[in-house]
Amino acid sequence: MNKQQNTFYITTPIYYVNARPHLGHTYTTIACDTLARYHRLKNDDTYFLTGTDEHGDKIVETAAKFEKSAADYAEEISNLFRSTWQSLNITNDDFIRTTEQRHKKAVAEVFSRLHNAGHIYFSEYSGKYCVGCERYLTDKELTEDGKCNIHLTTPQTISEENYFFKMQEFLPRLKKHLLENPAFIQP
């Protein structure tokens, strides 16, 4: 019997380097590794990616606490993630760092294509940003006195000009594809 080869792509979150690897990182990475090994045993064309995200205010703040530059701190923690996965015999095919030239080049290429096609626009956004959560919060996520309901800190009100993706243009086609291919993306 001639078995058709399937394609299976899996990625961990690209972990922030604001802290050392912990049990949650390890659990997620082992779960992904287990799935990758299973699909390789089935002879599926399998690709397993992990890595580190080395940008953000939280990383700068954490590095400062250790009296290090953000770049030096990111290098140290990224290497710790890599060595931790090696010590656990994790079988990832690649380890990406957002500070690597290949990542920067790929992001610039995708951005350029989207921008040239008119799918990206420049506008202003204003919101309440929690550095601890590394995201903007809605009013529902604030306590009665206006603090982040997780960190109990007052979020910064930030207004900034930024680039935005015109997602609305793609929603009908994306919804149709996902409804017709329910296994295309899975948690």
pLDDT one-digit tens code per residue, 165-181: 999 999 999 999 999 99
Residue 94 shares a structural domain with residue 161: no
Is residue 2 scored above 50 in pLDDT?
no
Q: Which two tokens stand for residue 120?
A: 């990206």
Mean pLDDT within 158-165: 93
Cα separation values, 110 from 13, 79, 105, Å: 20, 27, 9
Q: Number of folded domains in the chain?
A: 2
Residue 24 phi/psi, 5° resolution?
-65, -45
Residue 39 shares a structural domain with residue 88: yes
Residue 69 shares a structural domain with residue 144: no
Percent of the chain with pLDDT over 70: 98
Residue 93 shares a structural domain with residue 137: no
Residue 72 shares a structural domain with residue 162: no
Residue 92 shares a structural domain with residue 141: no
Mean pLDDT within 85-94: 99
Mean pLDDT within 44-67: 94
Domain span at residue 150 reads 120-166
